[in-house]
Amino acid sequence: MPVISFANSKGGSGKTTSALLLACELAQYKDTTLIDADPRRPITEWYKIKGGPDRLKVVTNSDENTILDEIEQASAESSFVIVDLEGVASRLTSYAISMSDLVIIPMKEQQQDAWAAMDVIKQIKMESRARRTMIPFSILFTQTRVVAKSRTARHIAEQFRATKTIPCLQAEINDRDAFSALFNIGGTIHDLKTSDVNNITAAKENANVYAEEVVRILRESKKTKEAA
């Protein structure tokens, strides 16, 4: 089953939020395992508040020595496996990337995030050389403004999207209260009420479009492998 890892060495990149949104969207239809491999345990703490969808299983990673077993077991049990990696380059990160069918690199439209994203891409390419097969990856812009983006934000995004060797998701994770509220309120965006946050409908649409694009990427990647 597809393994999707989320990696970025810079804190505050939107990595955990992106992983959680995708896992919750997929779990509406398929059995999904979300592995919390971030030492801060943000997913585990989120789950303690009120749990998650019936089809979502949260696994708290023990350490780098168990990550491969955790991914393999989750792959045997679930249709999708999501791994929220720690925010530093490590053997754990390396192991998870090597097992991934897709690595998503969340980043804000800021220069520091861009540098960190490039470091992750270098690591993916090194792991790909070791595996002797290219590990698919894609940039995901996070915490983006729906309107009135700054010149710097537009410039950074345009640079990445114009680089043919760096795939970028068309979907972006917008800066929305509904997404950050999940870690305070618990549950998914489908559990939120209008009394909790504003503009829930737009947040749901954002998450849905994002998840659908990730599924399309996985299907296209599978077809490419089968045709090779």
pLDDT in tens, 162-195: 999 999 999 999 999 999 999 999 999 999 998 8
| pLDDT of 224 over the 90 cut | no
- Sheet strands side by side (includes 173-174): 56-60, 32-36, 80-84, 3-6, 102-107, 137-144, 173-174
Q: What are phi and psi of 20, to 5 degrees?
A: -65, -45
**Predicted confidence band at 9 (pLDDT cuts at 50, 70, 90)?**
confident
Domains and CATH numbers, the chain: 3-227 (3.40.50.300)
Q: Which of 16, 24, 130, 3 is nearest to 72 (CA)?
A: 3
Choose between 213 and 223: higher pLDDT.
213
pLDDT over threshold 70, residue 88: no
Q: pLDDT tens digit string along 210-221?
A: 999 999 999 998
Query: What local confidence, expressed as pLDDT, does residue 156 receive?
Result: 95
β-pairing, 80-84 vs 102-107, is: unpaired
* CB contact at 8 A, 18 and 189: no
pLDDT for 228 beyond 70: no
User: Is residue 50 predicted with pLDDT exceeding 70?
Assistant: yes
Q: Look at residue 27 and tell me whether its pLDDT is greater than 90.
A: yes
pTM: 0.95
Task: State pLDDT tens for residues 191-207.
Answer: 999 888 989 999 999 99
Tokens 């995030």 correspond to what residue? 113
Strands 137-144, 173-174: parallel, antiparallel or unpaired by DSSP?
A: parallel
pLDDT at 52: 93
146 pLDDT more than 90: no
H-helix segments, the chain: 15-26, 42-50, 67-77, 91-98, 111-131, 151-162, 177-185, 200-227
State pLDDT tens for residues 104-143: 999 999 999 999 999 999 999 999 998 888 999 999 999 9
